[in-house]
């Protein structure tokens, strides 16, 4: 089996795991468990908490002590076991701790998958910028296949989605041990896991510091989409006019249009990365986030379905031009000895600090400012106002980024400290 095909399988399974439950846990929470919205924000904060610690720690281990593909496999096996325990949670606090443990295993596999893929491609003399997007796109396809599997089998509100994800995680863990070796390249360095001296130049350089700060702010926007997209569409089931609409019957399939869009925009990344600066590429992403939220604020499953669909299409550009391009940018800028930690830092800012900020902040705002309760105790969330608030947030971030961030002039201008 060719090396590209093996990496395609790895990427497919990597994001199939996430797609099997990430966008549908909201339906499981609200429609099956009937738990409150403010606690739901805590569930998505688990990704942030895990990303604050684990990507940097595992990046350190992959740089210094253990082959990246072996660490990658171990984490997936442990994460798969964690998903099997999700149905055992009978109250919000129990689910929080189970998902947190699972995320401690899953979140570091995201930068590790990049590290493994980049190393193997370079070892086999491939151009990473040209080749990796065509491999990474299969991760998005895996996410789509997972969503469709969950939706077509109507298990959005079932514990079966977690058994599905857990089984695939165990499979990927086993496959990982068959990949070519990705040995640690920084064994001779002596700093401790908590000592980021080899990455300190990232924060001393104002533009790189801004890059990671804005990555955090965009990470918050990403969590808003992940957490509330499916519950937003599912909420129209309570309105007779829309209760039998296609979007309400198959919300996960509608949301999967976002991932279908990703497959197209990922393939466009090499073109944009070669011709535009990282600032221009990320600005395109930020404008797309504004459109993403804005279209949701005015869309509905009836005559406004085209707006929801267009929002999902725009999401592909919003996500790829930020997440994938940011990862490739780090690959170009950081010395190999500290690259795993740099990818971990990027994940920490996006899925760690950003996720916590976006998840907990949005949960509080929605519960206290955009939710009303009926006489029978039922809750009504005002989705147009919610998405409008998110739109304003994305617009402010876009303007600030355009004013303050400047692209680095040279490639590989950050070297790890010895």
The structure tokens 């096996």 sit at 77
Structural domain span for residue 27 = 3-404
Q: Which of 54-63, 122-131, 312-321 has the highest mean pLDDT?
A: 312-321
Using alpha carbons only, give the angle 259, 392, 323 rounded to the nearest 5 degrees.
Answer: 35
Report the half-sphere exposure of 298 (CA within 13 A, side-chain side): 10
Percent of the chain with pLDDT over 70: 88
Confidence band (pLDDT; 50, 70, 90) for 142? very high
Q: Does residue 189 carry a pLDDT above 60?
A: no
Q: Which residues lie across from 268 on neighbouring strands?
A: none
The stretch 136-149 carries a mean pLDDT of 88
Alpha helices in 107-198 (DSSP H): 109-123, 128-152, 160-176
Overall average pLDDT of the 380-400 stretch: 92
Is residue 275 classed exposed, middle or buried when 0-12, 13-18 and 19+ CB atoms within 10 A define those classes?
exposed
- Calculate the dihedral angle through the C-alpha atoms of 57, 62, 63, 66, rounding to the nearest 10 degrees: 120
**Which of 72-81, 198-207, 315-324, 372-381 is least confident?**
198-207
> What is the average pLDDT score of the chain?
83
Q: How far apart are CA 141 and CA 138, in angstroms?
A: 5
The reported pLDDT for the residue numbered 415 is 40
Task: Report yes or no on 82 lying in a domain.
Answer: yes
Identify whether 294 is part of a domain. yes
CB-CB neighbours of 55 under 10 Å: 28
418 within domain boundaries: no
pTM: 0.71
Instruction: Average the pLDDT over each of 117-131, 191-205, 213-227 and give the range with the smallest value.
Output: 191-205
Q: Comparing 193-202, 240-249, 322-331, 364-373, which segment has the lowest mean pLDDT?
A: 193-202
Please choose, from the candidates 357, 358, 368, the residue with its C-alpha nearest in 3D space to the C-alpha of residue 38.
Answer: 368
Contact (CB, 8 A) for 363 and 390: no
Question: What residue ranges in 352-410 does DSSP mark as E strands?
Answer: 371-373, 379-381
Look up the CATH number of the domain holding residue 108: 1.20.1250.20
The average pLDDT across 302-311 equals 93
Predicted confidence band at 338 (pLDDT cuts at 50, 70, 90)? low
pLDDT at 194 over 70: no
Which of 21-35, 247-261, 275-289, 336-350 has the least mean pLDDT? 336-350
Task: Report residue 372: phi and psi, to 5°.
Answer: -120, 155
Q: State the first-to-last Cα distance of the chain, in angstroms, to the nearest integer.
A: 38
Q: Could you give the CA distance from residue 253 to residue 256 in angstroms, rounded to a whole number?
A: 5
> How many domains, the chain?
1
Let me know if residue 417 belongs to a domain. no
pLDDT(182) > 90: no
Q: In 3D, which of 70, 262, 53 has the Cα closest to residue 175?
A: 70
pLDDT at 78: 96
| Residue 345 placed within a domain | yes
Per the structure block, which two tokens stand in for 241?
Answer: 């006019």
pLDDT at 409 (0 to 100): 62
Q: Sorting pLDDT into bands at 50, 70 and 90, what band is 192? A: very low
Burial class (CB in 10 A: 0-12, 13-18, 19+), 191: middle
What confidence category does residue 201 fall into, taking pLDDT thresholds of 50, 70 and 90? low
Q: Which residues of 141-162 are buried (b: 16+ CB within 10 A; e: fewer)?
A: bbbbbbbbbbbeeebbbbbbbb
Instruction: Provide the β-strand partners of residue 414.
Output: 334
């Amino acid at each position: 089996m060719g090396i590209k095909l093996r990496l395609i399988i790895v990427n497919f399974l990597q994001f199939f795991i996430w797609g099997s439950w990430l966008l549908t846990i909201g339906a499981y929470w609200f429609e099956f468990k009937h738990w409150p919205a403010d606690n739901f924000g805590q569930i998505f904060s688990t990704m942030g908490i895990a990303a604050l610690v684990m990507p940097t720690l595992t990046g350190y281990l992959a740089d210094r002590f253990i082959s990246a593909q072996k660490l990658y496999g171990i984490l997936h096996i442990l994460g798969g076991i964690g998903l099997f325990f999700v149905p055992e949670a009978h109250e919000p606090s129990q689910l929080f701790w189970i998902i947190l443990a699972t995320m401690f295993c899953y979140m570091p596999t995201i930068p590790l998958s990049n590290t493994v893929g980049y190393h193997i491609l370079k070892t086999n003399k491939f151009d990473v910028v040209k080749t990796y997007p065509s491999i990474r796109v299969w991760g998005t396809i895996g996410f789509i296949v997972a969503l469709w599997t969950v939706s077509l089998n109507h298990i959005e509100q079932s514990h079966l989605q977690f058994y599905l994800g857990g089984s695939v995680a165990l499979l990927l863990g086993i496959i990982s041990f068959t990949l070519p070796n990705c040995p640690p390249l920084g064994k001779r360095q002596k700093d401790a896991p908590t000592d980021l001296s080899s990455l300190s130049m990232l924060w001393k350089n104002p533009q790189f510091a801004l890059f990671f700060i804005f990555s955090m702010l965009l990470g918050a926007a990403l969590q808003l989409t992940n957490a509330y997209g499916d519950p937003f569409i599912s909420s129209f089931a309570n309105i007779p006019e829309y209760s039998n609409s296609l979007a309400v019957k198959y919300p996960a399939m509608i949301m999967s249009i976002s991932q279908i869009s990703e497959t197209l925009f990922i393939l466009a990344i090499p073109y944009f990365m070669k011709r535009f600066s990282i600032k221009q590429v990320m600005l395109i992403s930020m404008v797309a986030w504004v459109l993403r939220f804005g279209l949701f604020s005015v869309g509905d499953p009836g005559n406004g379905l085209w707006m929801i669909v267009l929002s999902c299409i725009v999401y592909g550009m919003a996500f790829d031009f930020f997440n994938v391009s940011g990862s490739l940018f780090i690959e170009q800028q950081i010395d190999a000895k500290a690259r795993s930690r740099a990818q971990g830092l990027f994940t920490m800012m996006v899925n760690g600090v950003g996720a916590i900020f976006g998840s907990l902040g949005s949960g509080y705002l929605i519960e206290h400012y955009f939710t009303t309760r009926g006489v029978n105790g039922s809750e009504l969330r005002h989705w147009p106002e919610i998405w409008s608030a998110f739109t304003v947030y994305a617009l402010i971030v876009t303007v600030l980024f355009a004013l303050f961030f400047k692209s680095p002039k040279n490639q590989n201008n950050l070297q790890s400290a010895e």
